Amino acid sequence: MITVVTGASSGLGEALARRLAARGDTVVAIARSRERLEALARAQPGIVPIAADIADRAAVETAVARVEAEVGPIGALVNNAAVFAMQPLQDQQPAEIEAQIATNLLGTIWITRAVVPHLLRRRSGRIVMVASVAGIRGIPGQSVYCASKHGMLGFADALAQELLPHGVLVSSLCPGAIDTPLWSHAPGDGGVPYPGDLGQALPLGEACALVEFLLDRPPGTVCKRLIAFPTNEWH
């Protein structure tokens, strides 16, 4: 199967790309950093690197068309790319606010919109949204991130109902803190505590296994939303 993974140059996206390629998938790794993607492709056979910013609609449409023409039919999409800031709203710069909405919400919509017609034509496919517990509750210091992830889940829930009659399954993963570089920015400068011990985040391997579980659901089973977090958190 050809699986597109966004945000694949680091963190969960990189780990997932490696894991899926190792099991035999052809993984199209999309991220902004060409150098990191090319290094990933050299390290793990089965990975096709494509540098693109998912917040750029034209770039996303070009990337998806290239995959279909040069790599083959897309079977699954994992929307993993994310931008994160953990500060009180008044301390976040306009560029930080815009980046979170542009990537986490609009970027997810743009690439999904580009992929969906191909899945509909084949009447099969999987879409997994890597959302967050920040999409199901409000967390102080993450107001904009929460807004972007709430929007992502609303988009996913509506899209799942649109696509289900056509053989395309949409699922969402809502994890707590995952042991990735994303959380290196978590403390911020505003003194806003995270509701958990970041030293005990979900291991990457466990988070990857949850995405695999959603990708591998049989056609007759819908897993709308999977919520998972470390035992030192509660959401």
CATH number at residue 169: 3.40.50.720
The strand order across the sheet containing 225-228 reads 47-51, 26-31, 2-6, 74-79, 125-130, 168-175, 225-228
> Are 44 and 17 a contacting pair, CB within 8 Å?
yes
Q: Within a domain: residue 153?
A: yes
Q: Within a domain: residue 233?
A: no
User: Strand, coil or helix: what is 25?
Assistant: coil
Tell me whether residue 194 is one of the annotated catalytic residues.
no
Specify the pLDDT at position 180: 77
Give the distance between the most distant pair of CA atoms in the chain.
Answer: 50
Using one digit for the tens of pLDDT, what is the confidence trace for 37-54? Answer: 999 999 999 999 999 999
Specify the pLDDT at position 219: 87
Domain span holding position 51: 2-228
Which listed residue (84, 110, 145, 229) is catalytic? 145
> Domain tally for the chain?
1
- Which residue, 81, 44, 51, 45, is CA-closest to 66? 51
Specify the pLDDT at position 184: 52
- DSSP H or E run through 109: helix 108-122
Distance CA 139, CA 45 (A): 39
Q: Within a domain: residue 234?
A: no
Tokens of 107: 């970027």
Task: Print pLDDT tens along the chain (235 aa).
Answer: 999 999 999 999 999 999 999 999 999 999 999 999 999 999 999 999 999 999 999 999 999 999 999 999 999 999 999 999 989 999 999 999 999 999 999 999 999 999 999 999 999 999 999 999 999 999 999 999 999 999 999 999 999 999 999 999 999 999 998 987 665 555 444 445 455 555 678 899 999 999 999 999 998 889 999 999 888 878 7
Q: Within a domain: residue 218?
A: yes
Q: Within a domain: residue 6?
A: yes
